[in-house]
Structure 1
Amino acid sequence: MKRFLAPAIATALAACTAAPPTSLPRPPAETRTATELSAGWQFRFDNALTPDAALALPDTAWEAVQLPHTWNRLGEYRIGRTEATDNRQGLGWYRLNIDGAALPAGKRHVIEFDAVGNIADVWVNGRHAGRHAGAFSRFRLDLTDLLNPSGVNTLVLRADNNAPKPGSSTEHVNPLNGDFFIHGGIYRPARLLHVAPSHFALDDYGGPGVYATPRFAADGSATLSVRARLAGTTSAQSLVTILRNADGTTVAEATTPLAAGQTEAQQTLSVAAPRRWNGRADPYLYRLEAQLVERSGAVDSVTVPVGFREFRIDPDKGFFLNGRHVRLHGVSRHQDYLGKGWALDPEDHERDMELIAEMGANTVRFAHYQHAPLWFELADRYGMTVWAELPFVNAVAFTDAPASPELVANARQQMLELIRQNYNHPSVITWGIGNEVDIDLAFNRLGPKADARALLRELNALTHAEDPTRPTVIADCCEATPGDKAPYLPPLTGEADLMGYNRYFGWYYGKPADLGPHLDALHARYPHVPLSVSEYGAGGATSQHVETPETFKIKTAGRPHPEEFESWIHEQSWPQLRDRPYLWANWIWNMFDFSSKIRQEGDATDINDKGLVTFDRKVKKDVFFYYKAQWSPEPVVHITSRRWTERTEPKTKIKVYSNADRVTLTLNGAPLGEVPCVDRICTLEGVTLAPGRNVATASATFVDGKVEDRVEWTLTAAP
């Protein structure tokens, strides 16, 4: 949804602060506008506060904050927690003053939050405006009838991120469980929308109210079916849609007269030869502007992205985009950042996508919940295909009872929000309806009545009714994996159109070489279901190292997690995935280290260290360059074990990741010769380090010239 900003936005922002309000410039009466609500908020964490007390508290009892904001910070690269950790779960209160006299006259005033963790309740001038349950999706509340148009209005928001458990305030809010922390607060942007009485629907599960579906004819021409949801229309109005290309040129338009009180309208636009959205190769985007128009001009307008693309997924041959076979290989991503929690800036999102693109990935799994609106926009622009996912994770209940009606209703709500808010993004190719929802059942933590399939089937049917153009998918943890599991474990394969398997051979169970045969057996068992690997990987601590990872006895739920072991697991896993053409996609777990309250592993506390990049995005682990050498056309020469700077054994090996045919090595200026690169790994065994400082170099010649890498290692006596 386009952000329509009011003129002189700095002045407009000042009108929505806790300080004495000032006047807003009046925006043009005929257009939708928005006032961004980033500044002027006050915050207080207080489990005993009431709405009336929050309204009455003096300014000195509050902390001044800006949005996005969360009170939580979790995860440290050290053993044990310090004051840098804030893992409080409970009630965070926010307060904001709004000058009613500065609001545009004759408009509805609707507040829009891109996300609040985990339950949000909003009061205006002491009156309850509404509630939203779910930490990841946009929601709106119409405040018009609660606002004093001539004076100061005080908005109070209570954000509740209490831990889900029986009897808690969040016991019926998905997710009930998961290997990630639910951060509290208004951790994404918020704004106040000012719309005419006639407008595109704002109560449509946070969606834009305009939904566009491209369809192709055999000759390559296309149509764009447009569905608009409306509010407050009159017989003097029309729906006008204008499709513009990336240069802003109009390529198609349509006009449809409306009736008074009409709540929905449909149109079809024809495009003779659209340029296709073609993934990383050419992520071309159009923009569709929908207007509500009367004689005086447009009274409301919404702009949504359009990408003309078609795809299919074959259970034997994999993924096809616009008729061309594409091997989908990429990563999963969590939305947190060291020291910031979930309160990310646009620059943080941009940096994450740039790193993923640099590595050569062409797909991202948005795990395990709806990500920020900007993250979907970036996926469109970068040409990343997307698995978008509902936060139905790990558990369906706290006992062996079936899912409660309240939890089912919340899952349905969040599914509708996910689809409607992101329907128009061409990057989205599948809707995820659950992740590892059989894990408690598998390991006898819950009984057979906690079978998640009933809810999965309901979500599958709901998703197809909402969006017949995209398939559904499930990520499974446990079918046919090694280990003792409950005899009543039901298979999830077949409960959605597509299947993803979270598989950790060589890490949690089995040997790395077991991965391929395991997948072959599943493919033989389900020949008509397209299969993917939705997670695989291992932990890697950048301060822990080992010479022979293939013989190292790992402790997955503890310490250490040598960086070389993580690399070795991926070196063994990726060729098996690459060589199985029936897999329609593969996603590494995870692109970045992320916070997890259950983890005390590697060299960190409260961090899952399976990332290819550290939690602060400062260090690309060796394995990042393994995949860059595999996937990216950019020249790569990277010497591994570079952070193992202090050595006590003179004998070592030099291992390089490179997409060159061979690399040239030196040690302390002396040539070691050329080493062939086998499957992008170039290794020289039996290298002897000299006492003291050693400098190793690796170089290779590419079309555009020579690329060299250099590391320093210091050999000292063993302690």
Structure 2
Amino acid sequence: MTDPTDLPERRPRTVGRLSRRAVVAAFGAAGFVALPAWPDKTWAADAGPDAPGGPVLDTHPATEPSGTHVRDVGGTNVVFQYGTVLPAFDGWRTHEPTREYLSLDRRWRFRFDPGNRALGEGWESPHFDDGAWGLIDVPAAWDLLDTPGFASQTAAFGKGTAFADGYAWYRTVVDIPASWRGRHVRMAFLAAGYSAEVWLDGRYLGKHEGANSPFALPVSGALRPGTRQTIAVRVFRRASYTDYTAATPQPVTDDHQIPYKPVDYWPYAGLTRSAWIEAVPQVTIAKLLVVGASGKLEARAVVENHGASDFDGYLTLDPGRASGGRSAVAAARIPAGSVGVVTVSVPIPGARRWSPGSPHLFTARAALTARRPGGPRVDTLSARYGVRDVSVGDAELRLNGRPVFLKGLNWHEETAAHGRAMTPVEYDKELGHIRELGVNFIRNCVYNRHPYVYDWADEHGVMVMDDMDTMWLNTAQEKLQTERYGLARALALTMAWNQHNHPSVILWGLQNESEIDTGGAPVYRAWLADLKAAVKAVDLTARPVTWASSTSNDPAFDIADVIGFNEYFGYFHGKDADLGPTLDAVHAKYPGKPILITENGTWSVAGTHGPSTTQGTEEWQAASFEAHWAQVAERSEFVAGFTYWVLKDYKQRAGYNQNYNGISVMGMLTFAEERPKLAYEAFRRAAGPRAV
């Protein structure tokens, strides 16, 4: 796997010619790389067999199974997975006219495999009889397949499919159109928790690890257009504990997985987001990277040639209505079996800037044509963008050159009815609270969200800190991930690549409360430096990086662009009034860096009232927030914002809160009914010292 720190700087090379339609800077594909070879069968695993009678553990290859890495293609760093460019996942909402789509959102055959016997019995084979299996919707979380009382705060903990772990299988049949002959075809999944292996008509396509990141598997080698074929998916979830209801639950861990041990949010299992098959031309625009800044649009079209003949044509870029820019054309010459990048820079004098108060958006559209401008159209791909700039300086976080104060919320992506497989109506209701509360910032703790969320934030002017699953690692896991397995780096690369074009995303979050063992600071620093290098390698806009540290004395804060830490003064330790002096001490040590409170909060049981000094009352929760907010607002010259923990009560399988059926009551809203507590109104009233 390529180390991002070894990559050269991105410097476009001018090898094309000026557009015939507009006087712009236009560049052809400047250098190519061959499409990587990819194994056509699973790799040998290095994990030993499960202990007799013990929990089922997943197997792992020597390095994370998708082969995620970054390569310099003509001065642009491109992310590869499964032997191809990691493509845009816009097919969940946008269907390009040059492509064909087959939705896999449907009812599938479903069966648990608690004894891990399925591979020996041929469950992946198209000839296997699954007629006796049950049914499950895709998308859905199998946790809610049969768990009565899942949303109740008084139901018994530890029962139902919410606690079914190990392997489960999905099967469906699809009619492959005959028109797909000669096309490049991939199967896309927006999420599979925790890991997934995929077969088409018994042929193994690949494995993905990471519960909340999308992936796309090339299927052309297994495809038989004009026939009916069987898709089989084996999904794995590790148990959190050997016995969920034991007086002292024993955790189940796996050093290769992220997170490697039980965490305090619910690890929803199954195919929890949409899936589809996409047939694209042999010469295709896999990804369109766009940057809007300083009155111009720079677009880099990553073009794959899966065919046997060299491609010699043009790429036309339309910067979008209301941008004030005109279409431009650049040469596109991509050898057979290669990847190239075509760069076009277009003035957009009419494009207004994106900001929370004015979230202006534009749609850039790239079109490949053969031989000549206006010739036969080969492929198209569009991307939405905004014109904005994020920077850090003099202890300020700045948007479009102006200091910004973030009034923020943490939130978990789940509802009582559907878990993490939320519907658009549920997203609108959940995110509607954010607007009602006057929030201008959300932290996607501690995993990537459905693409709907980033689109919503772009449209509504809500800034985003994107996070990934790197939560509660210890020194041993940090070392393993950095030096050998590489899953943490893969998650960082795919996060920055997938969310690159969203103007709402202003910060990359690298980890949450990972441990710094005695003597482990060098390993911890090397791990964070590796993750920072990964996101910086592919982000053309150079967004700042931060993380949610468990301490205000983090030994790697010098690496961060924005200092972020979680603080629970007056709850887990110390007094509420300790926050102010702590912020002053951090600022004195790092005077040029802005500080962001990435978490603070307490808890209350809805309907419990009493003095504001009594823990667990709604009054105490509200008063604690007000005390912390005041100390932050007083220091807005170097504190960039405050992110409350958490919008809504949430489910978790950690070994506490079992008396509430696993519901953490730290939210401002209740879990199922979404009723507001007193903290909700206190937060709504809180005014930031400045706005953008």
After superposition, the C-alpha distances for 1:108-140 in whole angstroms (9 at most, x for unaligned) are 221100111111100111111111111111111
Name the SS for the 1:283 alignment partner: coil
- In 1, the alpha carbon distance for the partners of 2:461 and 2:177 equals 45
State the partner residue of 2:296.
222
State the partner residue of 1:58.
129
Q: Say whether the 8 Å CA contact 2:442–2:465 is kept in structure 1.
A: yes
Name the SS for the 1:627 alignment partner: helix
State the partner residue of 2:48.
none
Give 1:167 shift.
13
Residue type at the aligned position of 2:108: W
Q: Say whether the 8 Å CA contact 2:152–2:672 is kept in structure 1.
A: no
Picking from 573, 586, 594, the partner of 1:530 is 594
State the partner residue of 1:622.
678
After superposition, the C-alpha distances for 1:218-249 in whole angstroms (9 at most, x for unaligned) are xxx33424342433374342222111136x98
Give 1:253 shift.
3.1
Give 1:153 shift.
0.9
Name the SS for the 2:138 alignment partner: coil
Matches within 5 A, 1:471-490: 471-480=544-553
Residue type at the aligned position of 2:531: L
Picking from 613, 622, 641, the partner of 1:585 is 641
Picking from 170, 174, 181, the partner of 2:258 is 174
Give 1:288 shift.
1.0
RMSD: 3.0
Q: Say whether the 8 Å CA contact 2:301–2:366 is kept in structure 1.
A: no
Q: Say whether the 8 Å CA contact 2:305–2:311 is kept in structure 1.
A: no
Give 1:424 shift.
0.6
State the partner residue of 2:9.
none
Picking from 297, 305, 316, the partner of 2:376 is 297
Picking from 406, 418, 429, the partner of 2:506 is 429
Q: Say whether the 8 Å CA contact 2:140–2:271 is kept in structure 1.
A: yes
Q: Say whether the 8 Å CA contact 1:164–1:176 is kept in structure 2.
A: no
Pair 1:402-2:479 in alignment: yes
Question: Residues 58, 170 of structure 1: CA spacing in aligned structure 2 closer, same or farther, 3 A cutoff?
Answer: farther
Residue type at the aligned position of 1:391: D
Number of matched residues?
576
Give 1:405 shift.
5.8
After superposition, the C-alpha distances for 1:420-477 in whole angstroms (9 at most, x for unaligned) are 11101111111111111126x3xx7xx7489422211111122222225212112111
State the partner residue of 1:380.
458
- In 1, the alpha carbon distance for the partners of 2:321 and 2:383 equals 12
Larger radius of gyration: 1
Q: How many percent of aligned residue pairs carry the same amino acid?
A: 26
Matches within 5 A, 1:4-83: 31-47=98-114, 48-51=116-119, 52-55=122-125, 56-73=127-144, 76-78=152-154, 80-81=156-157
State the partner residue of 1:458.
530
- In 2, the alpha carbon distance for the partners of 1:632 and 1:524 equals 23
- In 1, the alpha carbon distance for the partners of 2:446 and 2:90 equals 26
Pair 1:564-2:619 in alignment: yes
State the partner residue of 1:151.
227
Task: State the structure with bigger RCO (CA 8 A, min sep 6), 1 or 2.
Answer: 2
Residue type at the aligned position of 1:319: L
State the partner residue of 1:256.
331
Picking from 391, 401, 423, the partner of 1:312 is 391
Picking from 606, 624, 627, the partner of 2:662 is 606
Give 1:4 shift.
5.3
- In 2, the alpha carbon distance for the partners of 1:414 and 1:90 equals 23
Picking from 325, 342, 356, the partner of 1:266 is 342
Name the SS for the 1:254 alignment partner: strand
Give 1:416 shift.
1.1
Give 1:101 shift.
4.7
Give 1:97 shift.
0.3
Residue type at the aligned position of 1:302: L
Give 1:603 shift.
7.2
Q: Say whether the 8 Å CA contact 1:315–1:531 is kept in structure 2.
A: no
Residue type at the aligned position of 2:123: A
Residue type at the aligned position of 2:282: P
- In 2, the alpha carbon distance for the partners of 1:411 and 1:294 equals 40
Q: Say whether the 8 Å CA contact 2:390–2:397 is kept in structure 1.
A: yes
Q: Say whether the 8 Å CA contact 1:476–1:492 is kept in structure 2.
A: no
Q: Say whether the 8 Å CA contact 1:541–1:602 is kept in structure 2.
A: no
After superposition, the C-alpha distances for 1:270-319 in whole angstroms (9 at most, x for unaligned) are 32424334322011101111122126632221111111011223343x33
Residue type at the aligned position of 2:560: A
- In 2, the alpha carbon distance for the partners of 1:458 and 1:605 equals 39
Give 1:391 shift.
1.5
- In 2, the alpha carbon distance for the partners of 1:54 and 1:2 equals 26
State the partner residue of 1:517.
581
Q: Say whether the 8 Å CA contact 2:392–2:561 is kept in structure 1.
A: no
State the partner residue of 2:320.
244
Which shifted more, 525-534 or 100-109?
100-109
After superposition, the C-alpha distances for 1:393-434 in whole angstroms (9 at most, x for unaligned) are 1113568x9335676411111111111111011111111111
Q: Say whether the 8 Å CA contact 1:214–1:224 is kept in structure 2.
A: yes
Picking from 275, 279, 295, the partner of 1:190 is 275
Give 1:504 shift.
0.6
Residue type at the aligned position of 1:145: G
Which shifted more, 61-70 or 372-381?
61-70
Residue type at the aligned position of 2:305: A
- In 1, the alpha carbon distance for the partners of 2:208 and 2:344 equals 34
Question: Residues 229, 528 of structure 1: CA spacing in aligned structure 2 closer, same or farther, 3 A cutoff?
Answer: farther
Which shifted more, 362-371 or 146-155?
146-155
Q: Say whether the 8 Å CA contact 1:254–1:267 is kept in structure 2.
A: no
Q: Which runs of no fewer than 5 residues in structure 1 stay unpaired? A: 10-27, 202-208, 481-489, 555-560, 634-719
After superposition, the C-alpha distances for 1:602-624 in whole angstroms (9 at most, x for unaligned) are 97221222111222253122211
Q: Say whether the 8 Å CA contact 2:391–2:543 is kept in structure 1.
A: no
Residue type at the aligned position of 1:470: R
State the partner residue of 1:574.
629
